[in-house]
């Protein structure tokens, strides 16, 4: 739902900015690299120190590059396999930095081994969820399933919770509990999504194998 509606809204809002960058001679790949570098810096500089509010502000500013670079490519008519590959690959780097930042905080000053483990699980499960879809599509399956918690949901839940949790340093009491809750939600949701995709790939692969088995005798008869 977030992918469908939020992306469409921000694409319209960011179109003039994308056109401005094009006029300045900036390439979509440059925006992709800068955006990823900004997210990684925001996550690994601020989050391990417990600066969740400012870290989230920095990350949010750079996260929109994911929409800007695609918008620029469409305006230039340069949508390509390379651009899609680069964007998807660097998305995984950015996601890893965000949850890695949480893990570093809880392994250090946050002093909570359980939440450190949950953060690492969110990091790993997010990568595997993305891999299952990519691998399923690579073997010719549609992987037609809308998972419970996909990348957009993981980012929104985690970043919103982290941003509000960061207000604890500004004197807002009790609000720091939002981040642990969000991490558990993302962890459980990612596990459910992973199961959904694995089950879908299994079903689709069985259907594809059965279809291929039915077509094999027909092809044999046609060539005989």
**95: annotated binding-site residue?**
no
Clarify whether 91 is annotated catalytic. yes
Burial call 135-154: b when 16+ CB within 10 Å, e when fewer: ebeeeebebebebebbbebb
**32: annotated binding-site residue?**
yes
**31: annotated binding-site residue?**
yes
CA distance 183 to 204: 31
Which 8-state DSSP code applies to residue 141?
Answer: -
**79: annotated binding-site residue?**
no
**101: annotated binding-site residue?**
no
Tokens 């996601």 belong to 95
**30: annotated binding-site residue?**
yes
CA distance 120 to 133: 21
- In the structure encoding, which two tokens stand for residue 92, read together? 């995984």
Which 8-state DSSP code applies to residue 9?
Answer: H
Query: Whose CA is closest to 128, among 149, 159, 156, 102?
Result: 149
**74: annotated binding-site residue?**
yes
CA distance 114 to 140: 39
Annotated binding site for a CDP-1,2-diacyl-sn-glycerol: 29-32, 70, 74, 80
Q: Residue ranges for the binding site for Mg(2+)?
A: 66, 69, 87, 91
Q: Known binding site: residues?
A: 29-32, 66, 69-70, 74, 80, 87, 91
As annotated, the active-site residues are 91
């Amino acid at each position: 739902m977030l992918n469908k509606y939020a992306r469409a809204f921000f694409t319209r809002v960011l179109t003039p900015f994308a056109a401005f960058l094009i006029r300045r001679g900036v390439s979509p790949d440059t925006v992709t690299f800068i955006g990823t570098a900004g997210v990684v810096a925001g996550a690994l500089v601020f989050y391990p120190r417990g600066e969740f509010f400012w870290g989230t502000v920095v990350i949010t500013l750079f996260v929109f590059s994911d929409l800007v670079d695609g918008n620029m490519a469409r305006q230039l008519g340069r949508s390509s396999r390379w651009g899609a590959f680069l964007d998807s690959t660097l998305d995984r780097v950015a996601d890893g930095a965000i949850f890695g930042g949480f893990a570093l905080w809880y392994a250090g000053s946050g002093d909570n081994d359980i939440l450190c483990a949950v953060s690492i699980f969110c990091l790993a499960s997010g990568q595997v969820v993305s891999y299952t879809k990519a691998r399923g599509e690579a073997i010719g399956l549609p992987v037609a399933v809308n998972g419970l918690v996909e990348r957009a949901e993981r980012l929104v839940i985690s970043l919103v919770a982290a941003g509000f949790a960061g207000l604890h340093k500004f004197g807002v009491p009790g609000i720091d509990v939002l981040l642990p809750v969000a991490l558990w939600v993302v962890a459980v949701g990612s596990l459910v999504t992973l199961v959904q995709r694995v089950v879908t790939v299994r079903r689709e692969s069985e259907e594809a194998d059965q279809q291929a088995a039915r077509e094999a005798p027909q092809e044999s008869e046609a060539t005989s």
